[in-house]
Amino acid sequence: KAGVTQTPRYLIKTRGQQVTLSCSPISGHRSVSWYQQTPGQGLQFLFEYFSETQRNKGNFPGRFSGRQFSNSRSEMNVSTLELGDSALYLCASSSGNTDTQYFGPGTRLTVL
């Protein structure tokens, strides 16, 4: 079975721009969670989608949004980028709520 894939792997943007990141879960997994990883804050939960519905959201501003498609693929969008948004964005998929989450390689976003 193929693992979780994320595209692109690297992105460089400037302040004020917006960005869209993509995640394809493991086949058969319907839950996709997104995390932000920074040296200062560690791994922090952004949101979770299941069957195209956002079921949970972390403490991030509304500039961070996401969606999930009928094939369980998910995208997250960050609008009006700030320098502090530079981070590794990870997505993870699982088959249910308290089942093991498997992570993709991440998208490294750099905001200049």
Partner 1 sequence: GESVGLHLPTLSVQEGDNSIINCAYSNSASDYFIWYKQESGKGPQFIIDIRSNMDKRQGQRVTVLLNKTVKHLSLQIAATQPGDSAVYFCAEIAGGTSYGKLTFGQGTILTVHP
Residue 65 in tokens:
């949004």
Q: CA-CA distance, 47 to 34, in Å (whole number)?
A: 6
For partner 1, the binding residue among 55, 61, 82, 110 (CB under 8 A) is 55
Q: CA-CA distance, 50 to 68, in Å (whole number)?
A: 8
For partner 1, the binding residue among 43, 51, 61, 71 (CB under 8 A) is 43
Name which of 4 and 11 has its Cβ closer to partner 1: 4
The residue count for binding partner 1 (CB under 8 A) is 30
Report if residue 11 touches partner 1, rule: CB under 8 A. Answer: no
Burial code of 62-75, b = ≥16 C-beta within 10 A, e = fewer?
A: eebbbebeeebbbb
60-89 binders of partner 1 (CB under 8 A): none
Report if residue 95 touches partner 1, rule: CB under 8 A. Answer: no
Name which of 20 and 58 has its Cβ closer to partner 1: 58
Are 86 and 77 a contacting pair, CB within 8 Å? no
- Interacting residues toward partner 1 by CB under 8 A: 4, 31-33, 35, 39-45, 48-50, 55-56, 58, 90, 92, 94, 97-98, 100-106
